[in-house]
């Protein structure tokens, strides 16, 4: 009886979570065909954690547990994924442009060639994530943790750091967002052949970062930790370092 009750509780919990997300979509008006996720696709994702190539445009998936989910090639543009659990998820070639991923957990996730342009990744966890060839142009990376991430040939042109999005969510345990979040943790990340033109990396930790053949023109590095970085053959024209323009290696 105890085992049966436990199984019932698990099924009920999953059904409740599915209903809650679908109900939120309906109430918020996101069910209109012009700007919303496909309800059937959303239900499929919540029940199976597999929705490769699905239309999840503008879906509200905040705080949802999607660990190891298959969302490869899915359209999640404009989606709300704040504080969602996406550790080890497959998001290869997914469209996450303009999506909100504040405080989202993406440790070990596969984001190969994903479109994250204009996305808000404030405080997001991306430790050892694979972002090879991903487009993060104009993305907000304030306080993001990209320790040991693979960003080979990634595009971070115009990447920024702004606290605007943090004011829209409530953090766990009733606390507000941390005030001292300036900087991006890129420690030991691979940014070889990446494009970082005009990227704001001020106050960031770039210890041990591989920047071989990277394009860093007009990037901002004031207050950044640059110990043991490799910038062999990197383009650094106009890069700001400690208030001075970096003209040569």
Query: Which two tokens mark 43?
Result: 């239900």
Domain that holds residue 29: 1-185
3-state helix, strand, coil in the chain (%, to 5): 20, 15, 65
> Is residue 61, in this structure, part of any structural domain at all?
yes
Q: How far apart are the first and last CA of the chain?
A: 70
Query: Which two tokens mark 40?
Result: 């059937």
Neighbours of 4 (CB within 10 A): 8
Please report which residue ranges of the chain form alpha helices under DSSP H. Answer: 2-28, 39-48
> Is residue 137, in this structure, part of any structural domain at all?
yes
Neighbours of 207 (CB within 10 A): 17
Least Cα distance to 211 among 111, 104, 224, 223 occurs for 224
Residues 41, 55 contacting (CB under 8 angstroms): yes
> Is residue 205, in this structure, part of any structural domain at all?
no
Q: Which pLDDT value is given to residue 37?
A: 85
Parts of the chain with a pLDDT under 50: 1-16, 19, 23, 25-34, 173-174, 179, 244-245, 247-249
Interatomic CA distance for residues 219 and 8, integer angstroms: 55
Q: Which pLDDT value is given to residue 28?
A: 45
> Could you tell me whether strands 239-241 and 244-246 are parallel, antiparallel, or unpaired per DSSP bridges?
antiparallel
> Is residue 158, in this structure, part of any structural domain at all?
yes
**Domain of residue 136, CATH code:** 2.160.20
How many domains does the chain contain in total? 1
Three-state DSSP state, 100: strand
> Is residue 204, in this structure, part of any structural domain at all?
no
- pTM for the full model? 0.83
Residues 230, 207 contacting (CB under 8 angstroms): no
> Is residue 81, in this structure, part of any structural domain at all?
yes
Residues 27, 44 contacting (CB under 8 angstroms): no
> Is residue 157, in this structure, part of any structural domain at all?
yes
Q: Which pLDDT value is given to residue 96?
A: 98
Please give the C-alpha separations between residue 245 and each of 73, 121, 155, 216, 222, in angstroms, as whole numbers.
Answer: 40, 28, 22, 12, 10
Q: Which pLDDT value is given to residue 246?
A: 52
> Is residue 213, in this structure, part of any structural domain at all?
no
Please give the C-alpha separations between residue 59 and each of 82, 186, 193, in angstroms, as whole numbers.
Answer: 11, 29, 33
Q: Which pLDDT value is given to residue 182?
A: 80
Q: Which pLDDT value is given to residue 35?
A: 64
């Amino acid at each position: 009886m105890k085992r049966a009750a436990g199984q019932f509780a698990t099924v009920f919990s999953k059904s409740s979570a599915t209903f809650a997300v679908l109900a939120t979509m309906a109430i918020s008006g996101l069910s209109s065909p012009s700007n919303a996720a496909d309800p059937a696709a959303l239900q499929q994702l919540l029940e199976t954690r597999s929705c490769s190539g699905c239309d999840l445009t503008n879906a509200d998936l905040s705080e949802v547990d999607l660990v190891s989910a298959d969302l490869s090639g899915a359209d999640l543009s404009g989606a709300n994924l704040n504080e969602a659990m996406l550790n080890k998820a497959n998001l290869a070639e997914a469209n996450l442009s303009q999506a909100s991923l504040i405080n989202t957990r993406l440790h070990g996730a596969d984001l190969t060639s994903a479109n994250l342009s204009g996305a808000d990744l404030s405080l997001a966890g991306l430790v050892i994530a694979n972002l090879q060839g991903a487009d993060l142009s104009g993305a907000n990376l304030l306080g993001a943790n990209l320790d040991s991430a693979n960003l080979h040939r990634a595009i971070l042109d115009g990447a920024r750091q702004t606290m605007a999005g943090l004011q829209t969510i409530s953090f766990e345990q009733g606390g507000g967002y941390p005030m001292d979040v300036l900087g991006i943790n890129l420690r030991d990340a691979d940014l070889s052949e990446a494009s970082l033109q005009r990227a704001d990396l001020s106050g960031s930790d770039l210890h041990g970062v591989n920047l071989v053949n990277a394009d860093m023109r007009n990037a901002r590095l004031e207050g950044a930790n640059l110990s043991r970085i490799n910038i062999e053959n990197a383009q650094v024209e106009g890069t700001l370092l400690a208030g001075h323009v970096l003209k040569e290696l």
